Amino acid sequence: KVKHQLEEKEGKKFDVFTAVEFKTQVVAGTNYFIKVHVGNDEFMHLRVFRSLPHENKPLSLHSYQGSKTKHDELAFF
């Protein structure tokens, strides 16, 4: 659901976009930290925010980190 948001921010399309790991953090909603394979040996770490149900807002890409590898630890950021 956030692939198009990342493509817009990066200015390119991703043929491969596969989540391989995730962590959650409960705040006033939920932060999802997701390691995504984007092709070849490239990975990105995404922070996606899901608001509380009564707010009825879509998932939003809050921030991301590029130039990651398969073995980089997925950490809160």
Dist. CA 76–CA 51, nearest whole Å: 18
Q: What is the pLDDT of residues 56-67, one digit of tens each?
A: 899 999 999 999
Q: How confident is the model at residue 77 (pLDDT cuts 50, 70, 90)?
A: confident
Return the sign of the alpha-carbon dihedral for residues 7, 12, 15, 17. Answer: negative
Tally of domains in the chain: 1
Does residue 36 form part of some domain? yes
Does residue 43 form part of some domain? yes
Residue 1 pLDDT: 85
pTM listed for this prediction: 0.87
Does residue 75 form part of some domain? no
Position 33 pLDDT exceeds 90: yes
Does residue 29 form part of some domain? yes
Does residue 50 form part of some domain? yes
